[in-house]
A and B are shown apart, each in its own frame.
Chain A
Amino acid sequence: EAGVAQSPRYKIIEKRQSVAFWCNPISGHATLYWYQQILGQGPKLLIQFQNNGVVDDSQLPKDRFSAERLKGVDSTLKIQPAKLEDSAVYLCASSLVAELFFGEGSRLTVL
């Protein structure tokens, strides 16, 4: 069974530039999550989708972050404009019921 796919694995940009991350969840998983993990910390939920609807985006900085999940499958997370403090690993996860499965993550460095 294929796992959660994410791309790109690494991205380096300058502040004020934009970046987009892509996630393909495990087939059949209705729930998709985007987490931000800063070095040395646990992951922080940015947004949770159930199919193509948003369940929780309370910690998403909506002035610069946006996410969509068209057709209830793939998802894209965008940051525009990026700030230095956005340097982190962006993790995508999916679940069918209770257990979460994570992708390898996309490491963002903002210079």
Chain B
Amino acid sequence: KQEVTQIPAALSVPEGENLVLNCSFTDSAIYNLQWFRQDPGKGLTSLLLIQSSQREQTSGRLNASLDKSSGRSTLYIAASQPGDSATYLCAGYSGNTGKLIFGQGTTLQVKP
């Protein structure tokens, strides 16, 4: 069974810090990995999509990378701000099952 683990489950940092969120898959046959942000009581907002031919994507202060050989992805947030406080979820398409599998999320709090 394909599982997705996000580490850490929760993170609290002071404003301005650079931070890394991790996502790993038991099935390394992953393609099309997507990172989302979810604010309390809201739906998921797409942040970055890494397609099968890509290894990383960047948007503003966010950079996501995917290492298919190890089944791991990282989301790097530079110069964190209080507005970045939210839950971040990764989701990957399994090449074996053809399903999009979500992690449980990392809840980030950035303190002013």
Residues of A at the B interface (CB closer than 8 Å) are: 4, 6, 40-45, 56, 91, 93, 98-105, 107
Contact = CB atoms under 8 A, between A and B. Distances in A.
15 contacts: A6-B43, A42-B91, A43-B89, A45-B100, A56-B98, A91-B44, A98-B49, A98-B51, A100-B34, A102-B36, A102-B45, A102-B46, A104-B42, A105-B43, A107-B41
Nearest to A99: B49
Instruction: Please report whether the interface of chain B is mostly helix, strand, loop or mixed according to DSSP.
Output: strand
Contacts, number: 47
Given A93-B44, A98-B49, A99-B34, 11 more contacts: A42-B89, A42-B102, A43-B102, A44-B102, A45-B99, A98-B34, A98-B93, A99-B46, A102-B36, A104-B42, A107-B41
Interface in B38-83: 41-46, 49, 51
A42 B104 contact: yes
A102 B39 CA distance: 13
Given A40-B104, A42-B104, A45-B99, A98 B32 contact: yes
A85 B47 CA distance: 30
Nearest to A106: B43
Contacts of A102: 36, 43-46
Contacts of A41: 104
B97 to A, nearest CB: 10
Interface string B88-112: 0101010000111011110000000
